[in-house]
Amino acid sequence: MVKTYVVDTNVLLQAPYALESFEDNRVILPMVVLEELDRFKKAEREIGANARRVIRFLERLRQRGSLLDGVSLENGGMLRVEKNFVDVKLPEDLPEDSADNRILKVCLGLSQTDGGQIILVTKDLLLRIKAQILNLCAEDFTTDQVLAHEEQYSGRCELYVPEEAFEGFRTAGIPVEKAYTVDEQGDIRTAELTENQFVIIKADQSVNKTQLGRVENGWIRELEYRKCSPYGVSPRNAGQYFLQEALMQPAPKAPLVIVKGQAGTSKTFYSLAVGLEKLLNNPTGEYRRILVCRPNSQFDDNIGFLPGSEQDKISPLMRPIRDNLEQLIDSNEEKRYENEVELQGKIDEIYGRGLIQAEALNFIRGRSIVNTYLIIDEAQNTTPDQIKGSITRAGKNTKLILLGDPNQIDRPFLDERTNGLSYASEHMKGCPLCWQVTMSAKECERSALAMEAIKRL
């Protein structure tokens, strides 16, 4: 049965391709949505670019026919602009001049006249609640949604192998067909492994023996960089061994690294340590700089009109990067802060030499970034469209590292299933150029208090 979808503005501003995602059903745009698109079209940020993209799409449809009567879409559906139902009555406590409530009036009017299934599509939780109060069907836009967080690809697993295969692991590796898992009922199952997946290997006859490896071309291989200590930092748990392996690999082999994990699991710290190792301790010529960006440092906003340079304006948002550098530059924990001026001078020197640069992420658009160790921190605050735009900026010999915690999202209309980090993780799964690892909560290394907070709060 053909359904009728009424689309809210916030869906289009986050996913400008949404109008083509409803298959052979009817798509209705209330007139107020056009008014809101007009209001956002001049914005200089991501939201403005998306509004203009939707408007151009509507213009192409307009040239083919009347949007008020309806224009067919390539997928077999039909799109129509709805300007009627201004006289539909709402409950007295819902003001009629509200844009959200004007959309509700359209939904009510369609349900009274057209019949059939009318579905409001919005990313606004409160609007979905108001729709339910009015006995209207309302849904989130699910095209970009990936699996729930606990079901998402983690880039790691635990396997059992025969004792003889375990003993020969370091010299010959282990064919993936020899590895298996054991489910909760104790049944043995063949392991389903993904290219570049990290594994904790246990011998089936003596499970206290463990090795760490990675899947490559049908074999489980030993980690190449397990004995490294980038910039004096040594891995303390399996997750950090996996993280180090992915970060230390050269850009041509591992140009994209996706790291998910809770606060305190050393995602940013370890990423900076490897970058500094490559640039300072053992210069390999791979990279000419470290570039650090954060999506909440103006990926989707302009940088304002207050006095100061771009660096002055984004400096407060990059403070976590300096916090990590303080620990890396002076590894002596007992004497690290005895001379604050000297410590800050060392960090300023690194910035001054251009070895580390911090930029507003909105300036990445349209660029091709080469020979760069590029870290995008807090990537869970990007949309799928934004993360695609970031990944496609990576040029020759650039290594892109996406870091974040899908459970710590600060941006409206995003959640653990629709954020750019989770989207990239699920869609890049199995790509030979992408290495992934999810840090577990028990691998928190920040402090005993941080570990307790993760457990209890």
The sheet that has 180-182: what strands, in order across it? 174-175, 219-222, 206-216, 198-203, 156-161, 180-182, 188-190
Going residue by residue through the chain, which has 457 residues, state the pLDDT in tens, using 9 for 90 and above: 889 999 999 999 999 999 999 999 999 999 999 999 999 999 877 889 899 999 999 999 999 999 999 999 998 999 999 999 989 999 989 998 899 999 999 999 999 998 789 999 999 999 999 999 999 999 999 988 898 888 999 999 999 999 999 999 999 999 999 999 988 777 888 889 999 999 999 998 877 889 999 999 999 999 999 999 999 999 999 999 999 999 999 999 999 999 999 988 999 999 999 999 999 988 888 999 999 998 854 434 444 555 555 566 566 667 888 889 988 987 666 666 677 888 888 888 888 898 999 887 766 767 889 999 999 999 999 989 889 989 998 999 999 999 999 999 988 888 999 999 999 999 999 999 999 999 998 898 777 787 777 677 6
What's the token pair of residue 206? 């003596």
Domains assigned to the chain: 4-139 (3.40.50.1010), 145-222 (2.30.130), 246-456 (3.40.50.300)
Sort 398 into a burial class: Cβ within 10 Å, 0-12 / 13-18 / 19+.
Answer: buried
pLDDT score recorded for residue 294: 86
Residue identified by tokens 């695609």 is 388
pLDDT score recorded for residue 417: 93
pLDDT score recorded for residue 298: 41
pLDDT score recorded for residue 332: 64
Contact in structure between 78 and 27 (CB atoms under 8 Å): yes
